[in-house]
């Protein structure tokens, strides 16, 4: 962890991969990750942790499977949303977007249970910034 300020725009400019988050810093036992996203992720669930999203640019949609049924939340730039633990969800970006996520260190991007992972989705616990 660095003790110097980190520019999120510089961090995001340092890579081009979609759905492949970079760890920009840590807060206690949590990673702060940024990612470029476009198109669909995968249906997945985190059994033991919530997942926090902040949309830095673009728009993110998150489909949710809840006890009352399926719904989609739309997150324009500047919006935050937390997917509660145990909730199946599938992020989707209709246009290129940049997001920030807060998750416990070591959390896999495709959760504890997921559908088949397509080639454009990186199943990772996050990559260090270059």
Q: Maximum CA pair distance of the chain?
A: 45
Taking only the tens place, the pLDDT of each residue in 58-81 is 999 999 999 999 999 999 999 999
Q: Please determine, for residue 2, whether its predicted confidence score (pLDDT) is greater than 80.
A: no
* Torsional sign, CA 75, 15, 6, 128: positive
Whole-number Å distance between alpha carbons of 74 and 63 = 9
Q: Which of 21-25, 71-75, 104-108 has the lowest mean pLDDT?
A: 104-108
**DSSP structural state of residue 85:** T
pTM strictly above 0.95: no
Whole-number Å distance between alpha carbons of 119 and 130 = 22
């Amino acid at each position: 962890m660095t003790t110097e300020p980190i520019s999120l725009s510089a961090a995001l400019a340092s890579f081009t991969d979609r759905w492949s988050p970079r760890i920009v810093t840590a807060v206690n036992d949590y990673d702060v990750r940024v990612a470029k996203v476009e198109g669909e992720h995968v249906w997945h669930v985190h059994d033991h942790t919530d997942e926090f999203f902040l949309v830095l640019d673009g728009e993110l949609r998150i489909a949710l499977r809840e006890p009352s049924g399926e719904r989609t939340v739309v997150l324009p730039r500047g919006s935050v949303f937390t997917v509660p633990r145990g909730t199946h969800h599938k992020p989707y970006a209709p246009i290129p977007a940049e997001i920030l996520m807060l998750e416990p260190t070591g959390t896999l991007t495709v959760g504890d249970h997921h559908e088949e992972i397509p080639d454009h989705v990186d199943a990772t616990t996050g990559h260090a910034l270059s």
